[in-house]
Amino acid sequence: MADTALMTIPGLVDPVPASRDITPRADGRVDLIGLPRPRIRELFEEAGLDAKAAKLRAKQVFHWLYHRGVTDFEAMTDIAKPMRPWLAERFVIGRPDVVEAQHSVDGTRKWLLRTADGHDFEMVFIPDETRGTLCVSSQVGCTLTCSFCATGTMRLVRNLTPGEIVGQVMLARDALGEWPKGSMISSNDDGADVIDEISDVDVIDEDDEAGHYTADGRLLTNIVMMGMGEPLYNFDHVRDALKLVMDGDGLALSKRRITLSTSGVIPMMERCGEEIGVNLAVSLHSVRKEVRDELVPLNKKYGIEDLLQACADYPGASNARRITFEYVMIKDKNDSDDDARELVRLLQAHNLPAKVNLIPFNPWPGAGYECSSPQRIRAFSEIIFASGFSAPVRTPRGRDIDAACGQLKTAAEKKSRAQRDREVAAAPLD
């Protein structure tokens, strides 16, 4: 069981258990993944290093963990040999467990992952010609109950920790083989000084390529916080994880390549812009109160007008960094020409630097909705486009592996139920 403490989360369900930064392990060692440099330094001091050594080791270990992706202290070649088992006795470098990994015919990859305390969540990688996008989860389940979303049918189990969130990106880099090679000196840090300071430095691996690397040619280029859960109801952990992703000596991905999607948690939007500064996507899905109340029940708390105003006020939004409005196309629900015109009117009235992302509804067993026809989606898109907003239709990807939010977990649960039934049927009667 994870050590949990009650924390107040604004929202419909309140309070819920939220994990702390360190989840105790049975063997007493501490998993370093998810911890920032100062916290690692603190732990090293608590374990007995003096302040100067702790600072130096924390800087080195941070680099190996987040920039180079090593999972074994023995691979930390600038750390003295006797120090490495000392670290391994006290600390571990974890990754989420992979329960199931699937590869779609169209290149989409999906992983069902498991936390150390046994909760399943999902991660999806979607490559296309110009980029590779990793869709990351922020919670196991969701407190919100959007009627078109499979995750909305699950209750919130718990928030993911910063380690479990950044761990998804690290696992994807492992799977894609995308950790940088090269010397341990990264381009934007003062690593050279560090080496000078170390008296017991080992020789850096000879097969390491010298010099720096660039992000060019990478498969994983973008991150979207659009997996399971509402990231703004797990704000602190999402922020801490994304800071590690954006750190130049960490995963070093630009904030311009990261998008956070919210169903409209207005009170947290400003902090998101100020403290993380990533691109914002808002799950709008309807421009009419009755319909949005049904599709995104949070609308009853934070209505459309206030939401659009919060978007207009989002720190950092500009024509160069427009806000994305996600709009799931559902047959006879939100897809009329009048809906499209009202959407344009609202965006213009709020003077929003906006783009609209039209998402064909992805059906799941038990969903009471159907996807709009391709003709309807095209007509809807054309009305928006004619008013000067871009309105691309998202191509469904990975349908053969249930790649939409919440679906793999649901499929896996069904399978395990079926598996259980088979086992019961096969068991000898007594």
User: How far apart are alpha carbons 284 and 234 in whole angstroms?
Assistant: 20
Measured on CA atoms in the order 196, 199, 201, 203, is the torsion positive or negative? positive
Q: In this chain, which of 87, 149, 311, 408 binds ligand SF4, going by CB under 6 A?
A: 149
CA distances from 429 to 177, 417, 423, 424, 426 (A): 49, 20, 12, 9, 9
Beta pairing partners, 11: none
Sign of CA dihedral 345, 375, 293, 279: negative
Min separation Cβ 229 and ligand SAH, Å: 6
Instruction: Write down the residue that tokens 């919100």 correspond to.
Output: 144
Q: Is 163 in the site for ligand SF4 (CB under 6 A)?
A: no
Q: How many CB atoms lie within 10 A of CB 159?
A: 29
Kindly tell me which of 43 and 323 has the beta carbon lying closer to ligand SF4.
323
Interaction partner, residue 226 (ligand SF4, ligand SAH, none; CB < 5-8 Å by kind) = ligand SAH
Q: Which residues carry out catalysis?
A: 122, 405
For residues 298 and 78, give the distance between their C-alpha atoms in angstroms, rounded to a whole number: 51
- Of 152 and 163, CB closest to ligand SF4: 152
Q: Which of 31, 122, 230, 339 binds ligand SF4 (CB under 6 A)?
A: 230
Q: How far apart are alpha carbons 396 and 343 in whole angstroms?
A: 23
Smallest gap from residue 15 Cβ to ligand SAH (A): 19
Q: Is 361 in the site for ligand SAH (CB under 6 A)?
A: yes
State the nearest-atom distance from the C-beta of 151 to ligand SF4, in Å.
Answer: 4
Cβ closest to ligand SF4, residue 35 vs residue 298: 298
DSSP string, 56-87: HHHHHHHIIIIIS----GGG-TTS-TTHHHHH
Determine the straight-line distance between the first and last CA of the chain, rounded to whole angstroms.
35
Are the beta carbons of 90 and 29 closer than 8 angstroms?
yes
Distance in Å, CB of 283 to ligand SAH, minimum:
4
DSSP 267-324: HHHHHIIIII--EEEEE---SSHHHHHHHSGGGGTS-HHHHHHHHHT-TT--SSSPEE
Task: Report 244-303 residues binding ligand SAH (CB under 6 A).
Answer: 261-263, 283
143 is a contact residue toward ligand SAH (CB under 6 A): no
Q: What 3-state DSSP class applies to 243?
A: helix
353 close to 322: Cβ distance less than 8 angstroms? yes
Residue 226 makes contact with ligand SAH by CB under 6 A: yes
Is 251 or 323 the residue whose CB approaches ligand SF4 more closely?
323
Closer CB to ligand SF4, 228 or 354, in the complex: 228
Of 98-106, 177-185, 332-340, 361-369, the window that binds ligand SAH (rule: CB under 6 A) is: 361-369
Contact pick of 31, 122, 164, 230 for ligand SAH (by CB under 6 A): 230
Residue with Cβ nearer ligand SAH (30 or 346): 346
Cβ count within 10 A of residue 306: 13
**Contact pick of 58, 116, 149, 347 for ligand SAH (by CB under 6 A):** 149
Partner touching 279 among ligand SF4, ligand SAH, none, CB below 5 to 8 Å by kind: none
Question: Interface with ligand SAH by CB under 6 A: which range of 179-187, 316-324, 355-363, 385-393?
Answer: 355-363
Cβ 142 to ligand SF4 shortest distance, Å: 3
Residues 6 or more apart whose CB falls under 8 angstroms from that of 157 comprise 119, 139, 140, 141
Interface residues with ligand SF4 (CB under 6 A)?
Answer: 142, 144, 146, 149, 151-152, 228-230, 263, 283, 405
Interface residues with ligand SAH (CB under 6 A)?
Answer: 148-149, 226, 230, 261-263, 283, 326, 328, 359, 361-362, 364, 404-405
